[in-house]
Amino acid sequence: MAEELVRMERISKYFGRVQALNDVTLSVQRSEIVGLLGDNGAGKSTLIKILSGALRADSGEIFLRGQKVEMRTTTDAIAHGIETIYQDSALVTQLSIARNLFLGREPVKSPRLFNRLDQKSMNKAAGELLRRVGITKNIPSTTPISALSGGERQSVAIARAMHFESDLIILDEPTNNLGVEETKGVLRFVRSARDSGHSCIFIAHNIYHVFQVVDRIIVLRRGKKVADYIDPKKTTIEEVEQIITGMALDPNS
């Protein structure tokens, strides 16, 4: 068995009287791509927001490489190497693509003169990254984010996660609003993440996309984990759909 990277243990979360998560335990190994499936409102986004520090659980614990950690803010999570890409990606729309990619980790060049930005290398790296995530249209890295489409913005956020080599990259419905090429870019990226030793949690509406790239599928239903360790190579899409809708039980249980 590979090394365990993240373990969320017995997580519960209420929103008022709605129980969004009920005693959910989830673990991700190093270099593992986990697909998180479930109907709308099943609690997928809530679960990963707790992992990324955007929400706090009412009960439960998070372990990173066996150490208990507190994810109080998104900054904590990023510092721990957990990068999340939301639909509404966290970019500064006034700044250029390159400046967003390197925000907070800007390369500077000498003579430093109040930390002079190395804009040439920023723009060059940005251009290469954009091609890797499938933005084939020739968009200069100096373009402000506000001039990009929703899909392009998402690709920029993905490019950022790729470049800074986070240990765990969480993608919550990253292919919504994306064009065909951009979607292919995201799927290619998820596959390549495994090869380069990163882990991923991949949430997507399109179950075919999930089947194409993940090692393991977890299913949430009404806040409870109803299936884990589903191997997409040994299971059909129909079987998984039945588990999601509650018409069948976890084949492993």
State the residues that interact with ligand ADP by CB under 6 A. Answer: 15, 18, 20, 38, 40-46
130 C-beta neighbours (distance < 10 Å), count = 25
x/- binding map, residues 46-65, to Mg ion, per CB under 5 A? --------------------
Instruction: Give the residue carrying structure tokens 């979360």.
Output: 13
CB closer to Mg ion, 135 vs 168:
168
Tokens in use for 192?
Answer: 């390549």
Per-residue DSSP letters for 138-202?
Answer: ---TTSBGGGS-HHHHHHHHHHHHHHTT-SEEEEESTTTT--HHHHHHHHHHHHHHHHTT-EEEE
Minimum distance, C-beta of residue 42 to Mg ion, in the bound complex (Å): 8
CB closer to ligand ADP, 33 vs 42:
42
Minimum distance, C-beta of residue 183 to ligand ADP, in the bound complex (Å): 19
Minimum distance, C-beta of residue 49 to ligand ADP, in the bound complex (Å): 7
Residue 176 in the binding site for other proteins (CB under 8 A): no
Minimum distance, C-beta of residue 77 to Mg ion, in the bound complex (Å): 17
| Dist. CA 53–CA 118, nearest whole Å | 31
CB closer to other proteins, 92 vs 249:
92
Contacts of 115 (CB under 8 A, 6+ apart): 106, 108
123 is in the binding site of which of ligand ADP, other proteins, Mg ion, none (Cβ under 5 to 8 A by kind)?
other proteins
Output the furthest CA–CA distance in the chain (Å, rounded): 66
Residues at the site binding Mg ion, with contacts judged by CB under 5 A: 45
